[in-house]
Amino acid sequence: MAYVLQVDFKMNGPFGDEMAAEFSGLARSINEEEGFMWKIWTENSDTNEAGGIYIFETKDTAEKYLDMHSKRLASFGISDVNAKIFAINSKLTEITKGKVK
């Protein structure tokens, strides 16, 4: 069973193309995390929020990543991180065109 890690936090930018350029190294490094499957990057420049929706192979790898990522965000001065982990119902997700494999 795969797991979703949902994370969001306040951030004063960058957003859009500038965010993509500045965080491309970080994006590549996430690919190397244990149990990582994929991520959707989220941003809202109107409310100064950013985050992501991650898929991990196990709850344990999602929890380990969240612990590491929370510490990394704290080192950037971001301490108010909203995060939740959910199990994925693969059968219903497939019906609605979600890809979990």
Query: How many structural domains comprise the chain?
Result: 1
Q: Predicted confidence band at 99 (pLDDT cuts at 50, 70, 90)?
A: confident
Q: Distance between CA atoms of 4 and 94, rounded to whole angstroms?
A: 15
74 occurs within a structural domain? yes
Whether 75 is in a domain gets the answer yes
Domain that holds residue 79: 3-95
Q: Work out the average pLDDT over 14-28.
A: 94
User: What is d(CA 7, CA 74) in angstroms, rounded to the nearest whole number?
Assistant: 14
CATH of residue 35's domain is: 3.30.70.100
Q: Is residue 100 part of a domain?
A: no
Please give the Cα distance from 23 to 12 (Å, whole number).
Answer: 14
Question: pLDDT digits over 45-79, tens only?
Answer: 999 999 999 999 999 999 999 999 999 999 988 98
Contact 85, 61 (CB under 8 A): no
